[in-house]
Every structure is written in structure tokens, then in C-alpha cells.
Amino acid sequence: MRLKVLPPTLRKNSRYLTLDIKSASPITKDELVNMIWDACIRFQGECMTSNFNLWVMKFYEIEKTDEYAHYKSIVRCQRDFVENVRSSLALTYRYNGNLVSITTIGLSGTIKASQKFI
Amino acid sequence: MFFDLNIRGSSLENNITLARQASEYGWDHINFSYNQNDFQNALDLREGLKDSLDGIISFDYTLEIKSTNINEIRKTANKFRNKASCISVIGGDLKVNRAVLENIKIDVLSRPYLKRYDSGINHILAKEAMRNNVAIELCFEDVLKSYLAPRAKVISNFRDIYALYRKFDFPLILSSRAESIFDIKTTQDFVSVFKQIGLNDDEINEAFSTSKAILEFNENRNEFIFKGVRRVNDEA
């Protein structure tokens, strides 16, 4: 049996970050999920990260060149913690020994609106 | 306006790639930094960069002096003063930190905390920085490329510098020191990181204004006769 959906006033407010990801080696969506959680837990700590309500909504492969693989993604986080998430992701530099760069190129209140940054 | 006075320059192709990426991520002006050995050769790339980056992003050069010899720093700064829009010296050595902050011909002391257990700046050096208008540069790269305990120590050093900055109000600038496209972030991300590690919005805006002021000051440096007196071209 599923839980009944909360009334709007009790729901968490979400924001959707559009991420620009460059990786020296190809990555999968699962690896991105791990990367995001690792980045947040490492920079903000476990207690703070528990507030973020992180979820990877979409994952797009844009292009692959000799230098890097380029991806974009839409990630959900809680409204009051956008700055914390942004800064944690910006400080990702290596994952499994490979160079990785994550930067936020868009912020919006709905998934539909965040897709214009893709 | 978002100014980055320290993007590490290399070959022409790499510079163009970095500049295009920086423009895409919202930067308005970047300075390619070269050390004293490569700076003269780098000046030859200017025309090629100008052609490729025309209308995309404005750029200039920073001379980054890396030496622990105070006389060499002074001589190099004098030699390249008219050729570089910004002269910075890599700090970390206490003698270098002091000599640089006392030298009015140098614009920036870069990373005074480098390879140290403290911030490399005290109240006396802060006053010197204020008196001689030498900016202190904090690099995003130092936070980005370190992790766990070393990152915590770098952030701690940043906080010590913020405390002195708030009391003595010396010029403070923020830069990325990016050398590849993996190191360049959007301006909003850059601001977010510095907000998380202790600066507020006004201080960050002030830091970008300081970078702009350094470039403007050096454009008119030849017009300065001595401190406080500038030759103006006012026919009226």
C-alpha cells in the first residue's frame, strides 16, 4: 500500500539544478549518483547532507571527445540548500582516479523549465 | 562583472579553449598568467588570441613571479612593469610575503599561505598591504585540488585572512588559477564556494571590483607622477 500524498503545505520545496559534467573517462548515471552523494557528504558532512533531499532526475550524454566525455543532468535538491549543493558539486575534482568537473549551469523550480538549459 | 586575474596560460590552442569555456560559464575578463621565464614568449601569442577571442571575452596577461630571492623579484617586477597588466608574486615564504607587500610596484601577493601551517599574513603585513595597495589573492584551485585534512587547513587559512581583511580592509582578490577545462566553474558556483567558506556577498563583489580596479590602475600607470598625483588630459 502506498502512502497518501502529503498536502502541498507539508511537502518539501524542491529546486532543480542543471549540471554540466565533464569527465576524463565515460561515466554512467549510477556513477554520477555516487559522485554527487560523495561530494556533498565530503564537503558538508553527513548531518547537513541529510537535509538536501538529493535525487538525480535526468541524465543526458552530450558528446564524447578525445579529451573528455560531456554530460548534462538535472538534479533535485531542497530549496533552502541550493548554495550548499552547488558548492559541494563544484568542488568535485576526481572520481575513481579520473578527472571530473561538475558545474551548475541552471537553476529552476520545475523539471520542464530546467530542460531549457540542456 | 566577473574578473579572473589568474588563469594559467600555456599554448595558443589551450588558451583559446579555456577562454571560450570561461566565456560560456559567465566570466567577463580573464588574465592568462605566465612565469618570468615564459612571459616574453607568451606576448607573441597576443595577436592570435585577439583574432580568435574577438567579441567573446576580453583577456590580458599576468606576470606570475615565482622566486624566493627578493632581489630577483624586485628586478623582474621592474623589468616587466610596462608589459604586464598585472604582476603577482607567489607567496608562502615569510620574507617574500613581506618584501612583496612593501613593494608598491607589485599588484598581487598570490597565495601567502602556500606550503605553510598558517595563513602567512599577520596584522603588520596586513597594514603594509593596505598602505602599498598590494592585493592578496586567494585561489579556488587550492580548495578544489585538495581534499580532507589539507582542504580543511586551506579553508582555515582563508578564514584567518578574512578576519584580517575585515579589520584592515586591504585589497583582496579571488581567482581560479585554472589550467584545464576541468578547473573552470560557472561564476555562480565560484561565488557559492566562497560564500560557503566564509565570505559574504558584498565582500565577494568587492573582490571582483578590486580585480577590475587593478587592471584600470595599470592602464594609467604611466600617467602617475607619484603617489596621489596623476597627469590628466583635460583640455578644458
Whether pLDDT at A46 is above 90: yes
With CB atoms and an 8 Å threshold, state whether B195 touches A84: no
Task: Please report the pLDDT score of residue B229 as a whole number.
Answer: 86
C-alpha torsion sign, points A108, A113, A117, B3? negative
For chain B, the domain total comes to 1
With CB atoms and an 8 Å threshold, state whether B185 touches A42: no
SS (H, E, C) chain B: CCEEEEEECCCHHHHHHHHHHHHHCCCCEEEEEEECCCHHHHHHHHHHHHHHHCCCCEEEEEEEECCCCHHHHHHHHHHHCCCCCEEEEECCCHHHHHHHHCCCCCCEEECCCCCCCCCCCCHHHHHHHHHHCCEEEEEHHHHHCCCHHHHHHHHHHHHHHHHHHHHHCCCEEEECCECCCCCCCCHHHHHHHHHHCCCCHHHHHHHHHHHHHHHHHHHCHHHEEECCEECCCCCC
With CB atoms and an 8 Å threshold, state whether A90 touches B182: no
Asked whether residue B227 is assigned to any structural domain, the reply reads: no
Dist CA B192 CA A87 (whole Å): 5
Domain architecture of chain A: domains with CATH: 13-110 (3.30.70.3250)
Distance from CA of A2 to the nearest CA of B (A): 38
Whether pLDDT at A66 is above 80: yes
Task: Please report the pLDDT score of residue B107 as a whole number.
Answer: 94
pLDDT digits (tens, 9 = 90+) for A87-104: 999 999 999 999 999 999
Distance from CA of A113 to the nearest CA of B (A): 19
**CATH code for position B29:** 3.20.20.140
Task: Please report the pLDDT score of residue B174 as a whole number.
Answer: 97
* A90 shares contact with chain B (CB less than 8 Å): yes
Calculate mean pLDDT across residues A20-43: 96
With CB atoms and an 8 Å threshold, state whether A101 touches B185: yes
With CB atoms and an 8 Å threshold, state whether B186 touches A99: no
Task: Please report the pLDDT score of residue B158 as a whole number.
Answer: 96
Structure-block grid coordinates of residue B184: 573552470
With CB atoms and an 8 Å threshold, state whether B182 touches A87: no
Asked whether residue B234 is assigned to any structural domain, the reply reads: no
With CB atoms and an 8 Å threshold, state whether B186 touches A84: no
pLDDT digits (tens, 9 = 90+) for B195-222: 999 999 999 999 999 999 999 999 888 8
User: How far lies A52's CA from each of A31, A94, B84, in Å?
Assistant: 19, 22, 45
From chain B, the residues in CB contact with A22 under 8 A are 181-182
Q: Is A61 helix (H, G, I), strand (E, B) or coil?
A: strand
Bridge partners of A75? A17, A56
Which structural domain, as residue segments, surrounds residue B58?
3-220
What number of C-beta contacts closer than 8 Å exist between A and B?
A: 54
- Which of A42, A67, A103 lies nearest to residue B186, judging by beta carbons? A103
Task: Please report the pLDDT score of residue B231 as a whole number.
Answer: 86
Asked whether residue B88 is assigned to any structural domain, the reply reads: yes
Asked whether residue B40 is assigned to any structural domain, the reply reads: yes
From chain B, the residues in CB contact with A27 under 8 A are none
Asked whether residue B226 is assigned to any structural domain, the reply reads: no
- Which of A43, A68, A86 lies nearest to residue B189, judging by beta carbons? A86
Mean pLDDT of chain A: 95
Task: Please report the pLDDT score of residue B236 as a whole number.
Answer: 62
**Closest CA in chain A for residue B17:** A67
With CB atoms and an 8 Å threshold, state whether A93 touches B143: no
Q: What global pTM score does this model have?
A: 0.94
Asked whether residue B232 is assigned to any structural domain, the reply reads: no
Task: Please report the pLDDT score of residue B196 as a whole number.
Answer: 95
With CB atoms and an 8 Å threshold, state whether A91 touches B195: no
Cβ of B205: how many Cβ atoms within 10 Å?
13
* A98 shares contact with chain B (CB less than 8 Å): no
Calculate mean pLDDT across residues A67-96: 96
Asked whether residue B231 is assigned to any structural domain, the reply reads: no
Which residues in chain B land under pLDDT 70? 236
